[in-house]
Chains A and B, each alone.
Chain A
């Protein structure tokens, strides 16, 4: 059999196994090992497969992942989220759909200490939805804005998925993290605008909040923002000034959050242990899928799949913009059925070389593709964030949440269109801070 044919057969086998429900890491490892053994013989195939797990997971760059995950869990157990929502609520209560808008900005704030979308959605489903329902907000709007707000965590640094993207495509993690900042903020503003427009059209969705807060009350509540500003300062400042690696800035930010929790007496030993254990669980999941996928990618490399795909894409008699739109459309459809990390890891090794060959900026594409896969956390049938919100609030049916998120999905697509039309929105900050 030709190497390319073996590669195609292996790729189809992987898809079949994944569809059958084999966990992505195990499916990728199995197909990768069998492919390598078939092509290179038992000793060489096993030799390569045995080397990859340790060699590929002990890169210093990857050590930033547990740090970013830890910050999010510590912030959650330290109760930082409550203060954040309270402050946003007091400042934004009088805006149309004020509580929903406050939820969006509070999730954006929490995104600055959390790298995981689902965790952010789970946290705010507990904090924000009860408040919104108490003031007579439409259930669909309340649940959907939490699910959508959760996706901001994947763009606003620290973002685990941007680190994973950087590792797979071998681009600067620091540059990617900085690049996610402005698109994250723009996404939050567009979400807020979508809520305001929706409430203006249909005021019954969010009755005005009659509570009034004095400036003093607002300023006192704003203390909830301080921990977030500290963490943003450490992560962005550390990378910008070049005196900290992303891992070190993550470690310092986690240390700051921990100290705050201790100072406020908000975290006991039990919560601290839980934060560490949950971090260990999420970390090992990401590392397992990374090394397993890299075994599969090595097999694809021997089969020549990436080169063949790149050649085919470049030779297509279509403008590169149309090819980009087709690739993005494929991601949009795939994302309806797959988890963001799994989908990125399965597709990027093949797609990314083609994107670079077409002349697109790797950092810009990273932001676009992460934004796109995050939309897929909202779309049926496997919009994970909607499931998470439904898991926390079983009284809000899943189909209602899915119906409620469409305005946010449209807002996201508009934002992606904006980034495609004006790529400088994405590339400006990393170029300005870290040079071209």
Chain B
């Protein structure tokens, strides 16, 4: 999704557009960290196979390392994914609606997501704090678990902020239905997650 700018008198999107662009850069950084984590898992996987096959030697704590790393790519790019509208949904009904009615329904859907993610942030933060205070570690390599658990509330908080931006974007569209779409996911039918979208 491109970050679009708008300058029309109805529904002036200047500040929102700028904020969206700035926040997109933050999301990109976290998504990049997630991407690096995937590459890391690939590298460690290859190294493990080569070492095991050629030298009959296994990386100490290999499974623990992979499992703890997984939290990085399971959560940190959730906001980035929401920006592109890649999270799965059924948009058949929404796509039948037009103009303001469509924006109202989209806005309600975002509010439901905001509530769900807000409760999850609270719940996963508690879970992280319990792990941090008890200092629990993995069984094999005795690696500390809390840094991995911290990824969950971080990723979800980033997602919540993106959803909040979506909410503001839709409220603006409800007020000015014909204004340019800013800070909202692609319209229904536009987010297939293929190779088609450009990269912001």
User: B-contacting residues of A (Cβ < 8 Å)?
Assistant: 17-27, 29-30, 33, 46-47, 49-51, 53-54, 57-60, 62-63, 66-67, 70, 76, 118-119, 121-123, 243-244, 247-248, 250-252, 254-255, 273-274, 276-285, 287-289, 291-292, 337-339, 341-342, 381-382, 384, 387-388, 391-392
Contact = CB atoms under 8 A, between A and B. Distances in A.
B12 interface: no
Contacts of A23: 87-89, 109, 113
Contacts of A247: 41, 45, 66
Contacts of A280: 31-32, 34-35, 38, 73, 77, 80
Interface residues of B, number: 72
Given A280-B77, A391-B192, 13 more contacts: A19-B92, A23-B109, A23-B113, A24-B88, A29-B116, A30-B112, A30-B119, A58-B70, A67-B41, A118-B193, A118-B194, A251-B41, A251-B43
10 contacts: A25-B87, A47-B127, A50-B120, A54-B71, A63-B41, A119-B195, A250-B45, A251-B46, A273-B35, A392-B196
Contacts of B94: 20-21
A33 B194 contact: no
B5 interface: no
B35 A21 contact: no
B10 interface: no
Given A33-B119, A381-B92, A288 B71 contact: no
B74 A57 contact: yes
Interface string B145-177: 000110110011000000000000000000000
A342 B88 contact: yes
A18 B108 CA distance: 12
Contact of A20 (B42, B48, B105, B148): B105
A291 B123 CA distance: 13
Most chain A CB atoms below 10 A, which of B74, B105, B119:
B74
B109 A21 contact: yes
B78 to A, nearest CB: 5
Contacts of A26: 87, 109, 112-113, 116-117
Contact of A283 (B38, B43, B46): B38
A12 to B, nearest CB: 15
A22 B112 contact: yes
B115 interface: yes
Contact of B124 (A53, A66, A338): A53
Given A47-B126, A60-B67, A283-B73, A384 B192 contact: yes
Contacts of B108: 20
Contact of B91 (A21, A57, A118): A21
Contacts of A20: 93-94, 105, 108-109
B192 A281 contact: no
Interface of B: 31-32, 34-36, 38-39, 41-46, 48-49, 52-53, 63, 66-68, 70-71, 73-78, 80-81, 84, 86-94, 105-106, 108-109, 112-113, 115-117, 119-120, 122-127, 148-149, 151-152, 155-156, 188-189, 192-196, 199
A289 B87 contact: yes
B137 to A, nearest CB: 14
A191 B189 CA distance: 27
Given A50-B127, A57-B71, A284-B73, A22 B89 contact: yes
Contact of B148 (A54, A76, A337): A54
Nearest to B151: A54
A24 B89 contact: yes
Nearest to B28: A277
Contacts of A54: 71, 124, 127, 148-149, 151-152
A284 B80 contact: yes
Nearest to A256: B46
Contact of B192 (A27, A46, A118): A118
A248 B58 CA distance: 13
B77 A50 contact: no
Contacts of B66: 60, 63, 247
Contacts of A337: 90, 92
Contacts of B149: 54
B197 to A, nearest CB: 9
Contacts of A277: 31-32, 35, 199
B88 A339 contact: yes
Contacts of B120: 29, 33, 49-50, 53
A46 B63 CA distance: 29
B131 to A, nearest CB: 9
Q: Pick from B39, B93, B188, B195 the residue with the most CB of A within 10 Å.
A: B195
Nearest to A120: B194
Contacts of A392: 196
Contacts of A283: 34, 38, 73-74, 77
B171 to A, nearest CB: 16
Given A27-B112, A58-B67, A244 B49 contact: yes
Contacts of A276: 35-36, 38-39
Contact of B45 (A46, A67, A279, A387): A67
The 7 A-B residue pairs with the shortest CB-CB distance in the complex, in nearest-first order: A251-B45, A50-B123, A30-B116, A26-B113, A276-B35, A21-B94, A50-B127
A281 B193 contact: yes
Given A46-B126, A254-B42, A122 B194 contact: yes
A25 B90 contact: no
Contacts of B117: 26, 29
Nearest to B189: A387
Contacts of B46: 248, 251-252, 255
A280 B48 CA distance: 22
Contacts of A67: 38, 41-42, 45
